[in-house]
Amino acid sequence: MSNSIKRSGLFLLVLICLGTYASGQTVFDIGISTNHHVHEFRVGGRHEHRQQPLFAGNGFHYSRSYTSIYLVNTFPGSYSLNFAYPAHDININPVVSLFDRWPYDPFARRYELPMGPKALNNRKHFEYRWNMSISPSSTSSLLYIAVEVPAGLNSSIYFPHDITIMPQALSPMHTLEKGITYLQGPANMVLASEGQAELSYAVDKAEQGFDTGTLPAMPIKNDLIKNWSFNDGLRYWTPHRDRISADDVKTFSLSDGILKIRATIENAREGIMQEVNADVSGAYSVVLMADVMVKEQTQAGLGPKGVDAPVAIAVGYKDSAGGDNKALVFYKGFYSLKSEDTDNISDGQLVLKDQWYRNIFDLMQLEPKPVSIQYISLEGSGWPAREGWIRDIHLIKSGGKE
């Protein structure tokens, strides 16, 4: 286990098995996951960090620091990153760093932004703006930003600050203008896919300062999933029972871009699925990414057979020996009730109830590797009552045939 993973408090277990259910799973012991909590906001939106504490831990710049991690879905182009904090915190000396992937990934590259002189503006805030750009050669769209301050004696600290990213670079005449310090960040930063097989972290999406309903959903390049945000209702998606199309499925609903799967008396495997039928031979990554939440669970773990959860994702695929044989199935179930039966949770992820979690897994880490993706299923099954939510589902292919 690398020092980076130890530093994040991550307990990693990868199990690879073959058969009808093929898996390459990471099981996390959730516990206190302060290092695995990310605040997500959109380009053009501002995140106001006010009442949320920053927690102490091993830092990126300081050996011990209070840190908060942010995530922005970006695309190739120029940006202005803005950061501001109150003048009464003049002695805190924050550090802002950019990462080309999940910061605790052992292969992550860190770009520490220069802070330069402090200029007090009319709002009695110190404000910094960095010009930067994302390279077209990026294989990911996820930009991670860490804000850290040196840790003291307490286990947490409240450090109010604002962070914004705008889709254009600025060209001020001087480094200091209008009480703002203008500096240069990385040019042509290459965002990369995770170097480890899988990761999972709690994620909260910041409230937007504008009407996101008027904005089109921004597709991710080479995403194999259509209507990933459910902006078009169930277009491209089909209700299913046991992954067979069914018109009478009533255990799911759509609301505000969230698929909600709830069962009070049924234990059948039901949900929605989408035919993909994509050639991924030669691809060096096919990244499955989704946000999930467990709202209610009665049956612990993944049930007696290890394949039942309030919310789960299944991907049918074929390997190089697939031919006309039945597709292999990658299954990932999410549960909030711990199970004493540790033999039946290898295909699962323990999460905290009522909290969004982002799960990212590279299907090309499976052995044997997929050569074609057949379908993706979003589902729930097992002893009722149970309820799980899911949003923003992606299968992002990098490399291979177009």
Return the beta strands (E) in 59-99 as ranges: 64-73, 77-86, 95-99
pLDDT for position 190: 96
- Run means of pLDDT, 10 residues per run, the chain, 402 residues: 37 30 40 68 84 85 92 92 91 94 92 92 89 92 94 82 90 85 95 81 70 52 92 96 96 96 95 97 92 96 95 95 76 94 89 94 92 97 97 89 68
Contact of 180 with 105, CB cutoff 8 Å: no
pLDDT for position 29: 40
Cis peptide before 239 (omega within 30 of 0): no
For the chain, the maximum distance between any two Cα atoms, rounded to a whole number of angstroms, is 69
Of residues 48, 67, 179, the one with CA closest to residue 126: 179
Q: Token pair of 162, please?
A: 């604002």
Contact of 341 with 244, CB cutoff 8 Å: no
pLDDT for position 23: 38
Euclidean distance between CA atoms 222 and 399, whole angstroms: 9
pLDDT for position 32: 40
Of residues 247, 226, 253, 224, the one with CA closest to residue 237: 226
pLDDT for position 323: 59
Residue 344 dihedral angles phi and psi, to the nearest 5° = -115, 30
- Structural domains of the chain, ranges and CATH numbers in brackets: 32-205 (no CATH), 216-399 (2.60.120.260)
pLDDT for position 83: 96
Give this prediction's pTM: 0.82
Euclidean distance between CA atoms 394 and 16, whole angstroms: 22
pLDDT for position 322: 67
Of residues 117, 141, 145, the one with CA closest to residue 289: 141
Of residues 233, 314, 300, the one with CA closest to residue 271: 314
pLDDT for position 284: 85
Of residues 11, 12, 15, the one with CA closest to residue 306: 15
Q: Is the dihedral of CA 231, 254, 42, 193 positive or negative?
A: negative
